[in-house]
Every structure is written in C-alpha cells, then in structure tokens.
C-alpha cells in the first residue's frame, strides 16, 4: 500500500511517482490509474500518463469511471488483470467510493491486491483506502463513512499541515480509539508492507495519532493520546505500535 498526502509530484520532482513505479516492478510495471475522484479527469489523464511513463513504467492505462455500472467495463477489468500497480488520483473520496465501492471492480481489485498488486493513491485516493473514512468535515465534527477497507485499523487524512487537519484526525480517532490515525502532509508518502511495517518518504511528515491509551475522552477533553511525527527515513510497526528512527531497525521477525 502506497499513500500520498496530496501534491504527489506528478508535474515536477516525481520522486513519489517513481517510488510507486519501482514498487510495481520498475521497467516492467504496468500501472492502472483511476481518476474517478477527480472533477478534472482530462487534465489528470495527461499529467499521470506523462508522469508514470517518464518515471519508468512500461505501460499506463487511465480510466475515469463515473457510475457503478461502468465498473463492469471489460476493458477496465482487463486493464486491472494486467496491472502491477493501481493508483487512485485525488478529488473527492466520497465520490470515489460511491462509484467503485462494492462493485465488480472493487472485488477484483481486492483479489489482485492479495496476489501482490500494489495499491496506492494521493489525497482522496489515500483516504479512501480506510475502512472508516473521513469523508469531509471540520476538526470538531468530521463526517465519517465507509471506505474501500484495505486498511482495517487505520484512518487516513491528507493535506494535514497545509489544511490544518490534525484536530479533525484526532476527533476521528476519538470516535474509533482502537484505530490509528495516519495524517499525511503534501508531498509525503507512507509505504505499508504486507507485514505491517510503514516507511515514510518525501518532504513532509506522517503524523500518527494513537488513541489506544486514551482515558476519559469527551467533547471537552481527554488524556493519554500518543502522537508521533515521522519524517523521511522513519518507520512504524503497526503490530507493536512503535516508531523507529532512521538509525534503528525493526527487532520483530518478518512474517
């Protein structure tokens, strides 16, 4: 899983796009881009095709699905079967999940992900990966809904510092204290592997909100919230809920 907090560098820099290509197989990578969250699909089509090809991908397919019935398109499903990586653009996570959630495409994507296909996205495309999804709302009253559910124990928010969304992420975690909150800055990505280890890349930080030890939570206060602010090179173990600095390695055996 590869999640970007917005401003993924598709127009310049492209380090994060190139990282996704490497994860998907490098020069042999076939990438499928879904722009259904976007209100500007034609612009995204051009930008992502150029960015992924110039970052080394072998082939790029781009689809903009606007209604659930269109998820049965044989051409789209064929592109999914051939893909090594599937990447969701930004826009509205509510629109994205509303169009593709629970569809045949959704079902096949899960099956392909279980077989090793890399799934990623930026901004709305990152938030939609959660089971409990922040659909919209301010810091005091985040509106939560059901996301794609690839991340069962993580609530993802994006543009965290740029749009001052830390309060919103904390509020969401207080509603679901067993879940972790992952808040990504723009130009920043978190890569989560199959063993539950997360690594941070990019110019900003990943803020992790851990409410598992919160006591006395209410609308007016709480105690015991754990907060980590991790920059590039830092890692985080989802099973142990421990952060590792760039100079330290995980002690847990690989699973």
Going residue by residue through the chain, which has 255 residues, state the pLDDT in tens, using 9 for 90 and above.
999 999 999 998 999 999 999 999 999 999 999 999 999 899 999 999 999 999 999 999 999 999 999 999 999 999 999 999 999 999 999 999 999 999 999 999 999 999 999 999 999 999 999 999 999 987 668 999 999 999 999 999 999 999 999 999 999 999 999 999 999 999 999 999 999 999 999 999 999 999 999 987 776 789 999 999 999 999 999 999 999 998 766 555 443
C-alpha–C-alpha distance, residues 18 and 20, integer Å? 5
List Cβ<8 Å contacts ≥24 apart for 13-17.
13/187, 14/51, 14/54, 14/55, 15/201, 15/202, 16/187, 16/189, 16/201, 16/202, 17/51, 17/52, 17/55
DSSP character at residue 51 = H
Spatial CB neighbours of 42, under 8 Å, sequence gap ≥ 6: none
Domain ranges in the chain are 2-244
pLDDT given at position 231: 97
In the sheet that holds 226-231, the strands lie side by side as 154-157, 180-184, 205-210, 226-231
Residue with tokens 């001052």: 164
Look up the pTM and report it. Answer: 0.94
C-alpha–C-alpha distance, residues 227 and 241, integer Å? 11
Half-sphere exposure (CA, 13 Å, Cβ side) for 233?
4
Beta strands in the chain (DSSP E): 2-4, 30-34, 59-63, 85-88, 118-122, 132-136, 143-146, 154-157, 180-184, 188-192, 197-202, 205-210, 226-231, 235-237, 242-244
Q: Give bridge partners of residue 237 from the DSSP assignment.
A: 197, 242
Q: Give bridge partners of residue 181 from the DSSP assignment.
A: 155, 209
Spatial CB neighbours of 51, under 8 Å, sequence gap ≥ 6: 9, 10, 11, 14, 17
In this structure, which topology does domain 2-244 adopt according to CATH? Rossmann fold (3.40.50)
Q: With the C-alpha atoms ordered 76, 13, 197, 58, is the resulting torsion angle positive or negative? A: positive
CB 15 within 8 A of CB 67: no
C-alpha–C-alpha distance, residues 197 and 237, integer Å? 5
pLDDT given at position 255: 38
Q: Give bridge partners of residue 190 from the DSSP assignment.
A: 3, 200
């Amino acid at each position: 899983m590869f999640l970007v907090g917005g401003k993924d560098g598709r127009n310049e820099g492209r380090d994060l796009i190139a990282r996704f290509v490497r994860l998907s197989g490098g020069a042999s990578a076939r990438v499928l881009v879904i722009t259904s969250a976007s209100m500007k699909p034609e612009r995204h089509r051009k930008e992502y095709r150029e960015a992924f090809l110039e970052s080394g991908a072998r082939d790029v397919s781009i689809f903009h699905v606007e209604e659930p019935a269109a998820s049965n398109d044989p051409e789209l499903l064929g592109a999914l079967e051939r893909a090594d990586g599937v990447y969701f653009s930004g826009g509205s996570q509510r629109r994205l999940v509303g169009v593709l959630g629970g569809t045949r495409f959704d079902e096949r994507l899960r099956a392909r992900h279980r077989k090793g296909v890399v799934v990623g996205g930026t901004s709305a495309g990152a938030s939609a990966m959660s089971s409990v999804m922040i659909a919209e709302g301010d810091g005091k009253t985040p509106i939560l809904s059901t996301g794609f559910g690839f991340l069962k124990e993580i609530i993802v928010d994006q543009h965290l510092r740029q749009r001052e969304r830390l309060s919103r992420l904390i509020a969401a975690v207080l509603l679901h204290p067993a879940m972790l909150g992952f808040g990504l800055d723009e130009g920043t990505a978190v890569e989560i592997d199959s063993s539950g280890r997360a690594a941070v890349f990019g110019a900003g930080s990943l803020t992790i909100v851990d409410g598992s030890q919160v006591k006395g939570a209410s609308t007016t206060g709480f105690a015991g919230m754990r907060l980590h602010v991790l920059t590039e090179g830092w890692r985080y173990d989802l099973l142990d809920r421990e952060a590792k600095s760039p100079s330290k390695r995980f002690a847990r055996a690989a699973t």
